[in-house]
């Protein structure tokens, strides 16, 4: 019953509400730079954070109609940015950045770059620059030892308040369901131990009480 309830919560993910499918969902190290004030030189300094990156597509994986990237943070519930692109918009990006891939290959290119940032964080960098009026930019940069080379840049916008609210509610309900599952499993284990070895249950209870007291 608990597993069924949890699956229902997953189906309520706002990210897939419009029919999108998740291709990628991982935490990636980002350097966050806040450049809301271009006259403040201190804003050039970035902070390293683990940002959850979710890549979704509408349509078939080999021939997507649209692509969306969602960025969220576990340390800031209101951090929510998105990047949306269809084939027409991609052509402009392709021409401007001189990309040698077509739109169907774009999701895999992004996934490969994100994975490189996880596996080789010293040579592959993801720099997220927050600008004014809810605009932002994600730059993929490679450290070539003698210089930094910008590989790809993606424009982002801050998500509307109602979208952020929906995602916060979803994350809260997901954690609540997981907690319920863990508590239910713990009760099952306690019931088994109580029958098989009551003294062990008493010992575990005392140990738990002792650790709580130390806190």
Please report, for the chain, the start and end positions of each structural domain, with discontinuous segments joined by +: 14-160, 165-214
Question: Does pLDDT of 213 surpass 80?
Answer: no
Q: For position 40, what pLDDT does the model report?
A: 60
Q: Which of 70, 43, 71 is nearest to 56 (CA)?
A: 70
Please enumerate in sequence order all residues whose Cβ is within 8 A of that of 159, keeping only pairs 6 or more positions apart, or say none.
70, 80, 81, 82, 167
Query: What's the pLDDT band for 166 if we cut at 50, 70, 90?
Result: confident
Q: Which of 54-68, 102-116, 137-151, 182-196 has the lowest mean pLDDT?
A: 182-196
Q: Which of 13, 8, 6, 7 is nearest to 166 (CA)?
A: 13
Q: What is the mean pLDDT of the chain?
A: 85
Q: Which two tokens stand for residue 5?
A: 């309830």
161-196 and 198-214 helices, crossing angle to 10°:
140
Indicate the CATH number for domain 14-160. 2.170.210.20
Question: Does pLDDT of 91 surpass 50?
Answer: yes
CA dihedral (20, 25, 30, 32) in degrees, to 10, reads: 40
Beta bridge partners of 148: 143
pLDDT in tens, 43-89: 567 899 999 999 999 999 889 999 999 999 988 989 999 999 999 99
pLDDT in tens, 178-195: 787 788 888 888 888 878
3-state secondary structure of 60: strand
Q: What is the pTM of this model?
A: 0.78
């Amino acid at each position: 019953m608990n597993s069924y309830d949890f699956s229902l919560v997953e189906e309520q993910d706002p990210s897939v509400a419009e029919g999108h499918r998740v291709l990628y969902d991982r935490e990636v190290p980002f350097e966050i730079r806040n450049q809301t004030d271009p006259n403040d030189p201190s804003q050039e300094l970035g902070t390293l954070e683990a940002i959850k990156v979710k890549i979704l597509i509408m349509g078939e994986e080999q021939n997507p109609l649209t692509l969306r990237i969602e960025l969220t943070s576990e340390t800031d519930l209101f951090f929510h940015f998105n990047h949306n692109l269809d084939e027409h918009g991609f052509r402009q990006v392709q021409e401007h950045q001189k990309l040698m891939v077509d739109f169907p290959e774009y999701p895999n290119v992004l996934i490969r770059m994100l994975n490189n940032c996880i596996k080789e964080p010293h040579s592959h960098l993801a720099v997220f620059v927050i600008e004014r009026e809810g605009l932002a930019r994600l730059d993929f940069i490679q450290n070539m030892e003698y210089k930094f080379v910008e590989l790809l840049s993606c424009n982002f916008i801050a998500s509307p308040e109602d979208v952020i609210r929906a995602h916060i509610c979803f994350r809260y309900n997901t954690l609540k369901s997981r907690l319920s599952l863990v508590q239910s499993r713990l009760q099952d284990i306690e019931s088994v131990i109580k029958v098989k070895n009551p003294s062990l249950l008493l010992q575990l209870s005392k140990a738990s009480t002792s650790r709580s007291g130390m806190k």
